[in-house]
Amino acid sequence: MTVSFSELKETLKKVLLQLSFPQNKAEICADIFASNSRDGVHSHGLNRFPVFVDLVKKGLIDPMAEPECVEQNGLLEVWDGHLGAGTYNSSICMDRAIELAKKNSMSCVAIRNNNHWMRGGTYGWQAAEAGCIGICFTNASAGMPPWGGKEPRLGNNPLVIAVPHHEGHIVLDMAMSQFSYGKMQEYELKGRSLPFSGGYDREGNLSTDPVAIKQTKRALPAGFWKGSGLAMMMDILLAMLSGGRTTAKITASGNEYGLSQCFICIYKENLHQDLVDEIIAYTKTAIPVEAGTEIAYPGEQTLKRRIQSEKEGIIVDETMWKKVLSL
């Protein structure tokens, strides 16, 4: 079934207001959750909303908390999220990074004691929409073993790089495992194998079976040692800049809350859009592996899905929709 963007957003907003979120915060949070579903990222949109509500009810997300700048070092600011809504705090931080970059060409805002920001791409699109290059990343609880190890010690810490582009922004939103557990579950529910190895089975062999991987908790880092190293660097950068909780501490706490994020912005008047066009056009001239398909730039599919959702409504899981309506 499908619902319109405004119906989805208003429904979520109503729940947030009932949970004592102030009006402006309910507006921003509902908009982000609804936009994530609109862009096809259901796992961080409607489908994640009940988990978010649950964390609010448990007292792990404080609806009243406002993020606060606690350190200023030139264009590098450290903020404290005071365990407020991760999506709201993150959008405030990216707004601040945009503001600083527009005045000074660049900026970095790091936040600690924040909560899950849902889809990282959200803040990349936000920067690009404002005409800035945006780079942002988060940490998370351990869900992936480091390269050479068997037990989860790394967060699936996504990296987002976004640039403004006159024909649709270019937004890379990249988690560090080859397949997220959410994606693997989709394959599991359809009874299908992964198209490539996504982790290890009990015998320690690379596997395309999502069930076997879930059992071992040995999700495969993208590019093996490369995704593993990059995930570790994200956590290190966040700890260094924000002074917040590391993946070690988040994992030990038993709940995925109190995370850190970093928002880097770069602004420059002439961002050479003609050269970006050149890169995209050149990349698309490669003969496709499957005839009739086209090579996509990062974010291209997201934009297509967004346009489709706006025309035809947002596809929602009926059970999940009913669940949220009853909240």
Contact pick of 17, 70, 248, 315 for a second copy (by CB under 8 A)? 248
Q: How many residues does the chain have?
A: 327
Find the part of the chain contacting a second copy (CB under 8 A) among 15-23, 44-52, 170-178, 308-316.
Answer: 170-178
Q: Name the residue nearer to a second copy (CB basis): 30 or 175.
A: 175
Taking the C-alpha atoms of residue 261 and residue 290, their distance in angstroms, rounded to an integer, is: 38
Q: Which of residues 261-280 bind a second copy (CB under 8 A)?
A: 264, 266, 268-272, 275-276, 278-279
Minimal CA–CA distance to 109: which of 98, 117, 118?
A: 98
- What 8-state DSSP symbol labels residue 286? S
Taking the C-alpha atoms of residue 137 and residue 19, their distance in angstroms, rounded to an integer, is: 28
Q: Does 211 bind a second copy (CB under 8 A)?
A: no
Q: Name the residue nearer to a second copy (CB basis): 51 or 279.
A: 279
Taking the C-alpha atoms of residue 124 and residue 245, their distance in angstroms, rounded to an integer, is: 23
Q: Name the residue nearer to a second copy (CB basis): 81 or 152.
A: 152
- The 48-87 contact track toward a second copy, x by CB under 8 A, reads -------------------------xxxx-----------
Q: Name the residue nearer to a second copy (CB basis): 23 or 104.
A: 104
272 as an active site residue: the answer is: no
Q: Does 152 bind a second copy (CB under 8 A)?
A: yes
How many residues bind to a second copy according to rule CB under 8 A? 75
Taking the C-alpha atoms of residue 142 and residue 66, their distance in angstroms, rounded to an integer, is: 27
Q: Does 283 bind a second copy (CB under 8 A)?
A: yes
Q: Does 104 bind a second copy (CB under 8 A)?
A: yes
Alpha-carbon separation of residue 232 from 74, 158, 159, 316 (angstroms): 27, 11, 12, 34
- What 8-state DSSP symbol labels residue 99? H
142, two tokens: 């351990």
Q: Catalytic positions, please?
A: 44
